[in-house]
Amino acid sequence: MIDLVIYPLGRGVFRVECDGRLICGRTDQPLLDGARVLQAEGVSQGALVSMRHAGSEHRSLTSTVGAAAKLTVRETPGEGPRFAPYRPYSRTVASPSDFEGGSVSD
């Protein structure tokens, strides 16, 4: 099992290490973002990954790399935090001319 250790940086924000190696410098969803890093490094989708707080031997969450990498957390005022499918940010940069004569939603 791969063990992710999280260190608090502030309210709800963590640094993530794996075997003493920094894999996420700042995240609010350490297991999920950590799993995406592991996935990008070629770790098997079926590999078990767990998360624990620094100084604790108790595992807070456990998943497979593949399942955790597919999720993110979405929060709305009406529902609170919920797991949702992960969608990577688009690397496309919009220019002002893309929106001339209309709004973003036109």
Q: Which domain range does residue 75 map to? A: 2-85
pLDDT digits (tens, 9 = 90+) for 1-55: 999 999 999 999 999 999 999 999 999 999 999 999 999 999 999 999 999 999 9
| Residues 63-92, mean pLDDT to the nearest whole number | 90
Q: Is residue 92 part of a domain?
A: no
Q: Is residue 52 part of a domain?
A: yes
Q: Is residue 81 part of a domain?
A: yes
Q: Backbone phi, then psi, for 74, in 5-degree steps? A: -115, 140
List helix spans (H) across the chain.
30-40, 65-69
User: pTM of the predicted model, to two decimals?
Assistant: 0.81
